[in-house]
Amino acid sequence: MRGEFNYSANNLDLLLLNSPLKNYELFPKLNDFTLPTLGLGYIATCAEAHGFNVEVIDAEALGLGVSQLAEIVNKKSPRWVGLNLLAPTYQNSIEILRQLTPDIRIMLGGHQAKAMPTTILKERRIPRIDALVLGEAETRVPILLGDVESRQSLPQVFWREGDVAVMPKVTGYDPSLLAPDINTLPFVDRKHLQQDPYMDGLVRESAMVASRGCPFDCSFCGAAISANPDVTIRMRKPHNLIAEIVELRNVHHVERVRFVDDLFLANIKLIREILSAFVEEQIKIQWDATGRINVLANASDDIIDLMVLSGCREVALGIESGSDRLLSHIDKKISVRQILTAVERLCRAGVNVKGYFILGLPTETRQEQQQTVELIYRLQDLTSNLPGRFRCSAFEYRPYPGTPDWKRLVSAGYSEQEMMNYEPETLAELFQEKGLRDRDEFNFSTGIQFGEVPVSETRRTLAELMRRQKEL
């Protein structure tokens, strides 16, 4: 069920926006669910804790078009509007900004802002930029709301004066301005999330973040450590996680939580510490998380047992490819052998596995794409009679600014502008498959061929994989 939102005007200090993937005034919205915008929720919650009036509009969740969203913002007339800039929504974000009344201050952040700050500051289509906030913003946004001139002393906050980009180098600042203590941040106020808690089938579920940062450097990933040198890698304490889980269970009647960050199952010592606390405190709730294949393939049996005992229902694994050569090229630090071991161990223990795959990676040969398809089929067959269920989500490759891949592709002659030009149609629309229209895999694409296999052929393979998955 799509979320609802109160569009009535009120006195707002900050209105945070998650731009739509497509302009839903022109294209139909086919997917009724998107993961909640926890980052914006944290910023809103922290700003409210400092006494400011804040709202969040998730236009993707609500299916709002560009002009619809701009009209709502102008009607509400906040002092500030804030947008998280992402590659797939960048063009829509610019068009929204162009339609805002000139008395609204503009605050920008997100992955795109961090990856291309100078380019964004020089972007003439953006009418004004009063604050470009790079990185984690929970502690800096309230300061900016209190006094716009504070930007001169805040680290990693830039702006534009007329046609001039202002990018001061601030030193001697409090480290918490860039790396807040995640064990003292308030829990996200779920009123700021249009689709959380949400129903996954018959189960009421909420998303959580247990960590910040990632120590790995997968070449295609926006969370790669080389793309985020400003991020301090850290994990929330068990008591802090348990307190939020208990609040979600008792206040919001949540039956399952999904840890959406990269690190929850990436370190054996932390896995043991956190899951032992879950068991000891008897949280009585199921949980899903993302895991690292090399960690889970080599973990001792008691770690897998502890996962089951503490309530683990499903683990999402970034498998990406069935080619050892390509896995090395994208710096996954895993092998096909480890993939088979990790998936079989989890499913044999009764834990479901969702495997993520990417077709069309740079340098991928036709044979390597076929190896990926064959690995998916092999994993489905391998686990067909085990207690845990394996399912796949296969994506068409898309490059993101700031990643190791992006730098390699630009050096190889690919156009930055073309790589950010996402096509408005989805694969589900191209294939007219009603059964595929709720798949998040088909939201957007650059349409550029980066490997040996043509894009049209890759898309046909994706559609066939998803058809087969749906039939299982």
Does 449 reside within a domain?
yes
78 and 20 assigned to the same domain: yes
Asked if residue 38 has pLDDT above 70, the reply is: yes
Does 98 reside within a domain?
yes
Residues sharing a CB contact under 8 Å with residue 424, sequence separation 6 or more, in sequence order: 22, 23, 26, 27
- Separation between Cα atoms, residue 35 and residue 21, nearest integer Å: 13
Does 188 reside within a domain?
no
Give the domain CATH number at 121.
Answer: 3.40.50.280
- Separation between Cα atoms, residue 429 and residue 32, nearest integer Å: 15
Q: What's the pLDDT tens digit per position in 69-112?
A: 999 999 999 999 999 999 889 999 999 999 999 999 999 999 99
172 and 217 assigned to the same domain: no
410 and 373 assigned to the same domain: yes
Give the domain CATH number at 359.
Answer: 3.20.20.70
Three-class SS of residue 200? Answer: strand
103 near 76, Cβ under 8 Å?
Answer: no
DSSP for 313-347, please give it.
EEEEEEEE-S-HHHHHHTT----HHHHHHHHHHHH
Does 182 reside within a domain?
no
18 and 141 assigned to the same domain: yes
173 and 258 assigned to the same domain: no
Name the pLDDT band for 427 (thresholds 50, 70, 90): low
Mean of pLDDT over the chain: 92
For the chain, the farthest-separated pair of C-alpha atoms sits apart, in whole angstroms, at 65
Q: What's the pLDDT tens digit per position in 114-167?
A: 999 999 999 999 999 999 999 999 999 999 999 999 999 999 999 999 999 999
Q: Which amino acid is at 154?
A: L
- Separation between Cα atoms, residue 37 and residue 17, nearest integer Å: 10
Does 305 reside within a domain?
yes
Asked if residue 425 has pLDDT above 80, the reply is: no
51 and 124 assigned to the same domain: yes
Does 194 reside within a domain?
no
pTM: 0.93
Q: What's the pLDDT tens digit per position in 194-230?
A: 999 999 999 999 999 999 999 999 999 998 999 888 8
Domain range for residue 328? 204-471
213 and 139 assigned to the same domain: no
Q: Residue 456 is encoded by which pair of tokens?
A: 């049209």
Rg (CA), the chain: 22
Q: Choose one of 177, 193, 218: the last residue of a domain.
A: 177
Name the pLDDT band for 9 (thresholds 50, 70, 90): very low
289 and 362 assigned to the same domain: yes
Asked if residue 272 has pLDDT above 60, the reply is: yes
Considering its fold, how many domains does the chain have in total? Answer: 2
169 and 220 assigned to the same domain: no
- Separation between Cα atoms, residue 89 and residue 99, nearest integer Å: 16
- Separation between Cα atoms, residue 334 and residue 251, nearest integer Å: 40
Does 414 reside within a domain?
yes
- Separation between Cα atoms, residue 4 and residue 347, nearest integer Å: 37
344 near 381, Cβ under 8 Å?
Answer: no
Indicate the burial class of 51 (C-beta count within 10 angstroms; 0-12, 13-18, 19 or more). Answer: exposed
367 and 307 assigned to the same domain: yes
147 and 234 assigned to the same domain: no
Q: Which amino acid is at 123?
A: E
150 and 25 assigned to the same domain: yes
- Separation between Cα atoms, residue 175 and residue 227, nearest integer Å: 19
Does 282 reside within a domain?
yes
Asked if residue 438 has pLDDT above 80, the reply is: no
Task: Please give the pLDDT value at position 432.
Answer: 54
Report the side by side order of strands in the sheet with 352-359.
Answer: 198-200, 203-208, 256-259, 286-291, 312-320, 352-359, 390-396
